[in-house]
């Protein structure tokens, strides 16, 4: 392999570039990014950066020890891909042909079409998004957050700390029930309420009231009207794979990969938020839209790309974390199929505890709030769901 191209210049792309050099690739290395920025860290965007506690320079993911000797094509959007020839075409007309390609184009914030081009409506996914939103968080303003996921919760936390009046709309009865289960999701909801945030569960939006290209209120089914000065839409993300339509790669909507990131085309792998890797714990392809997945799986995909005989590697348990109202929330494993949750330390009412999810006698997931040491220790005991299911049947 003489030329390796990485499409995507965020954490997954940078991690792939580092892995390629660490694994002995000495050829031409091209990194393509649609944003003009060098690789930066996204998790602080909704927290420290949004609050002005750190600068854009503090977000840099590159270090003085990086010696990638790469060609950086930044501000260059990829618009199409020919998998057969491994050729990436850019919006500016340039094309890059390679022996190997890592697809790491990530995801974008999902939008509400009816709020397109409305001045006081924001999403939060990029550095530029956060730079626009931060100055709008002014004490005394009313903020409406549409969506009670992690981005919504973190923005709500940051805004409340600035003295805004915050209302969060959730289409589900309990926030985070899909990730944490209803019982622990209720604990997170209580944390929000304890800090003065109004969480509206099972909310159905009938429409938005706008004036002079600004949202002034939201109408809910049942007749309630909530006035607002500012709206943040946090309803999830969509993988950036449109440019791959017609490329010959399988999409669903992420790039379909095996358990090492290989696509169905030799010389092409995918990592990060745009990749749907095969998950042996569930027997399905699933997106892994979390920081640690982008960091750790890039090395596996690059190994599979550089060595066709690379053996299957065991994945670490699914892991994510969040910081909300000064509480560090950590979760590892998959909660699906658990039959009970046991509190093994602390007290959920004080938002400092360790909870373990069990299927039969097997621990399949662990949740910690402000218990980093206990969490790190207990995380190592998590059993993949497939093994837990087999044990339960034996």
The predicted-structure confidence for 370-380, as pLDDT tens digits, reads as follows 999 999 999 98
Closest of 177, 115, 202, 326 to residue 123, by C-alpha: 115
Confidence of residue 26 (pLDDT cuts 50, 70, 90): very high
Beta carbons within 8 Å of 129's beta carbon, 6+ residues apart: 45, 109, 122, 123
* Ordered domains of the chain (ranges, CATH): 3-108+237-306 (3.50.50.60), 111-233 (3.50.50.60), 326-393 (3.30.390.30)
CA pair distance 304, 260, nearest whole angstrom: 7
pLDDT tens per residue across span 116-163: 889 999 999 999 999 999 999 999 999 999 999 999 999 999 999 999
Is the pLDDT score of 388 beyond 60? Answer: no
Helix axes 291-306, 11-22, angle to 10 degrees: 40
Average pLDDT, the chain: 93
pLDDT in the model for residue 393: 34
**What are the tokens at 43?**
């998790």
Query: Counting beta carbons within 10 angstroms of the beta carbon of residue 204, is it exposed (0 to 12), middle (13 to 18) or buried (19 or more)?
Result: exposed
pLDDT tens per residue across span 29-87: 999 999 999 999 999 999 999 999 999 999 999 988 788 999 999 999 999 999 999 99
CA pair distance 155, 148, nearest whole angstrom: 10
pLDDT tens per residue across span 252-280: 989 999 999 999 999 999 999 999 999 87
Is the pLDDT score of 387 beyond 90? Answer: no
CA pair distance 263, 382, nearest whole angstrom: 28
* DSSP-assigned states of every residue in 62-97: --TT-----EEEET--EEEEETTTTEEEETTS-EEE
Q: How many helices (DSSP H) and strands (DSSP E) are in the chain?
A: 7, 26
Beta carbons within 8 Å of 14's beta carbon, 6+ residues apart: 31, 39, 61, 62
Is residue 259 a contact partner of residue 312, using CB atoms and an 8 Å limit? Answer: yes
Is the pLDDT score of 394 beyond 70? Answer: no
């Amino acid at each position: 392999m003489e030329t390796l191209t990485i499409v995507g210049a965020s954490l997954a792309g940078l991690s792939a570039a580092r892995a390629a050099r660490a694994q002995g690739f000495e050829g031409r290395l091209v990194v393509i990014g649609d944003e003009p920025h060098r690789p930066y860290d996204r998790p602080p965007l909704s927290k420290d950066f949004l609050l002005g506690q750190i600068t854009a320079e503090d977000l840099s993911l590159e270090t003085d020890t990086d010696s990638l000797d790469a060609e950086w094509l930044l501000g260059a959007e990829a618009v199409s891909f020919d998998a057969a020839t491994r050729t990436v075409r850019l919006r500016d007309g340039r094309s890059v042909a390679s022996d190997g390609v890592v697809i790491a184009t990530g995801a974008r914030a999902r939008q509400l079409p009816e709020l397109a081009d409305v001045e006081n409506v924001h999403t939060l996914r990029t550095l530029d998004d956060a730079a626009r939103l931060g100055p709008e968080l002014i004490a005394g303003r009313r903020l409406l957050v549409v969506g009670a996921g992690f981005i919504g919760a973190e923005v709500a936390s940051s805004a409340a700390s600035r003295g805004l009046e915050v209302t969060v709309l959730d289409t589900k009865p309990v926030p985070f029930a899909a990730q944490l289960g209803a019982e622990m999701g209720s604990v997170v909801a209580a944390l929000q309420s304890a800090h003065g945030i109004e969480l509206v569960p099972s909310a159905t939006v009938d429409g938005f009231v706008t004036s002079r290209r600004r949202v002034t209120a939201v109408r809910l089914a049942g007749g309630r009207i909530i006035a607002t000065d500012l709206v943040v839409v946090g309803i999830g993300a969509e993988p950036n794979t449109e440019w791959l339509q017609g490329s010959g790669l399988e999409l669903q909507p992420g790039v379909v990969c095996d358990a090492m990131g290989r696509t169905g085309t030799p010389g092409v792998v995918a990592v990060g938020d745009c990749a749907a890797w095969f998950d042996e714990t569930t027997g399905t392809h699933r997106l892994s839209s979390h920081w640690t997945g982008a960091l750790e799986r890039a090395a596996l995909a690059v190994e599979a790309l550089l060595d066709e005989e690379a053996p299957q590697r065991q994945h670490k348990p699914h892991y994510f974390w969040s910081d909300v109202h000064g509480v560090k929330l950590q979760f590892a494993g998959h909660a699906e199929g658990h039959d009970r949750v046991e509190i093994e330390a602390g007290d959920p009412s004080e938002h400092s505890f360790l909870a373990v999810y069990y299927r039969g006698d097997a621990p399949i997931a662990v949740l910690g709030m402000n218990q980093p040491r206990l969490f790190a220790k207990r995380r190592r005991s998590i059993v993949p769901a497939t093994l837990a299911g087999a044990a339960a049947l034996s």
